[in-house]
Amino acid sequence: MYLVDYHLHTSFSSDSEAPMEDMILSAIDKGLDEIAFTDHVDFDDRYTLPDYNLYIPYLEDLKHKYKNDITIKLGIEIGLESTKADLVNTMTAAFPFDFIIGSSHSVRCYDLYFDQNEYFSTRTKQEAYSTYFEEMLLNIKSCNDFCVYGHMDFISRYGLYEDNTLNYMEYAPFIDAVLKELIARGKGIEINTSGYRYGINNCYPDIEILKRYKALGGEIITIGSDAHYTKDVGDHIGVAYDMLHTAGFKDITVFKGRRPEFIRL
Ligand SMILES: [Zn+2]
Ligand SMILES: [Zn+2]
């Protein structure tokens, strides 16, 4: 089986201190065939951005150094916000990323991490979660150059409710609208295994959303650990491969120059 981890952070992300080379060595040690570095770019003054004029040559050197051991791709995880679509589209056009994860880290300018209290304490769960998906739809329509939507039901990590679980059936009209728009635009979703490190004992998204994406005609799925530490590289990716099988997918997707390539499971 071709093992990939398509969601990795390094010390170039403001919330990680992991040296890129150590992440590579960890991936090789765990027997991975291919990885993509997807450091954060969020247009919010509370985050710092990588300097890609330094980043790209640095990654290229390491890619060359380990070329016989592992395939390494230049990726990015960019925070999508329809009100900042110009900034997002300018950034994705400026550098030769192989792979782009578009993620919702903020909703209506509330950062889900920094502004968690402000966003959730003023909304019912139904309002908070449905607004998240409505905003996601606007993001997909305005931020045009990404490959997969990151951790689609991620809002459930941050909710301040008694039960933060996000059930597909409760939000089906909102989620279906998002999935249909992604599929119409040739975009995928990721299976993000970080839920196992955040106490939900599950991936983002839940398998019900994965099955729905498939039923609507979607084919593009990447797998990523969202590791911010070397020990977490490849964490629980076996579970993600099992989910792909269970949901009826035949391939895993990798990217080159933002084009999907399909590899048999
Ligand atoms: Zn993210
Ligand atoms: Zn991430």
Report how far ligand 1's centroid is from the alpha carbon of 50 (Å): 15
Dihedral angle sign, alpha carbons of residues 99, 38, 131, 196:
positive
Question: Distances from the Cα of 81 to the Cαs of 8, 141, 144, 193, 201, in angstroms?
Answer: 21, 10, 11, 23, 28
Report how far ligand 1's centroid is from the alpha carbon of 150 (Å): 6
Residue ranges and CATH numbers for the domains of the chain are 4-264 (3.20.20.140)
pLDDT the model gives residue 199: 84
Report how far ligand 2's centroid is from the alpha carbon of 192 (Å): 9
Which ligand has the nearest atom to the CA of 149?
A: 1
Q: Is the pLDDT of residue 228 over 90?
A: yes
pLDDT above 90: percentage of residues in the chain: 97
Structure tokens at 73: 């791709």
Q: Per-residue pLDDT tens for 117-147?
A: 999 999 999 999 999 999 999 999 999 899 9
Q: Per-residue pLDDT tens for 16-75?
A: 999 999 999 999 999 999 999 999 999 999 999 999 999 999 999 999 999 999 999 999
pLDDT the model gives residue 97: 98
Report how far ligand 1's centroid is from the alpha carbon of 1 (Å): 26
Which ligand has the nearest atom to the CA of 102?
A: 1
Q: Per-residue pLDDT tens for 171-189?
A: 999 999 999 999 999 999 9
Structure tokens at 176: 């279906």
Structure tokens at 27: 């991936």
**How many other CB atoms are there within 10 angstroms of residue 195's CB atom?**
23
pLDDT the model gives residue 144: 86
pLDDT the model gives residue 200: 86
Which ligand has the nearest atom to the CA of 157?
A: 1
Tell me the C-alpha distance between 242 and 27, whole Å.
20
| DSSP category for residue 204 | B
**How many other CB atoms are there within 10 angstroms of residue 24's CB atom?**
25
pLDDT the model gives residue 248: 97
